[in-house]
Amino acid sequence: MNTFFYDPGDSEFKRHYRDEVQMVFSAMDCMLHGGDVIYASSELTSGNRLRTALIEHKLRTAAELKQKLGSEWFNKNIWDVNVKAAVDFAEAVRAIAPNKTLVITPAPFTAPGWSQPEYLAFWETLLRTRVRSVWFNRNWQYSNGCAFEFAVAQDAGLPTYDYKGEILDRETGITLLKSAIDLMESDGFDTKGLRENVARLLAPRN
């Protein structure tokens, strides 16, 4: 069994969100050394897997699903499966990327206390400052987070690719998102998040 010279202990720290963001980026930059990376976008807290489960159980929201089946079921059947799929996708992208370029997936990252908008703000900053291209996993268009990342990537002028490595341009992305919206609304689901990102993609470019 490995032993450590220092015990990290249970010290408590109080810091602002922006300070935490700077701290996380400083740790990431220890590995990136100023080099650009590929970002692998994949469904996590929303998306097609969640949609399928909601239809199966005749529910409308993730909160209702957790209440009916329990958080343990939700984590095992939705969250954990999505995290594994996201990590597998990132590894697949790295396997075919030139020179084994470093690939980042947001799946394993946790920041206790952060809200969803704070997570999104963090990943947006990463995309705009340290990423050279973004790849999107299968069925990305059903995920609010992936749709947001696609809108950010397009606004930042980053090349975007689908899970097969084929170019995913703005127009194709918008078409996929609109089709996902139509399907989800026909099933009775809220599509506010997807619509917000379509609006971002349709807004006049500066």
CATH number at residue 76: 3.40.50
- Does position 159 have pLDDT exceeding 70, yes or no? yes
Cβ neighbours, 10 Å, residue 149: 28
Range of the domain at 42: 36-202
Give 103-141 pLDDT, tens digit per residue: 999 999 999 999 999 999 999 999 999 999 999 999 999
- For the whole model, what pTM was predicted? 0.93
Cα 180 from chain centroid? 17
In a domain, 160, yes or no: yes
Identity at 109, one-letter amino acid code: F
pLDDT of residue 1: 64
Partners of residue 134 on adjacent β-strands: 39, 160
In a domain, 126, yes or no: yes
**Closest CA relative to residue 77, chosen from 104, 106, 57, 105:** 57
pLDDT of residue 150: 98
3-state secondary structure at position 93: helix
In a domain, 177, yes or no: yes
Kindly tell me the sign of the dihedral angle through the C-alpha atoms of 187, 68, 148, 98. negative
pLDDT of residue 171: 98
In a domain, 19, yes or no: no
Contact 160, 150 (CB under 8 A): yes
- Does position 67 have pLDDT exceeding 90, yes or no? yes
In a domain, 23, yes or no: no
Give 20-59 pLDDT, tens digit per residue: 999 999 999 998 887 779 999 999 999 999 999 999 999 9
**pLDDT confidence tier of residue 185, bands split at 50, 70 and 90:** very high
Burial 177-198 (b: 16+ CB within 10 A, else e): beebbeebeeeebebebbbebb
CA gap 131, 119 in Å, rounded: 17
In a domain, 49, yes or no: yes
Identity at 27, one-letter amino acid code: A
CA gap 154, 37 in Å, rounded: 16
**pLDDT confidence tier of residue 181, bands split at 50, 70 and 90:** very high
In a domain, 54, yes or no: yes
In a domain, 28, yes or no: no
What is the arithmetic mean of pLDDT over 68-78? 96
What is the arithmetic mean of pLDDT over 77-87? 97
Indicate the number of domains in the chain.
1
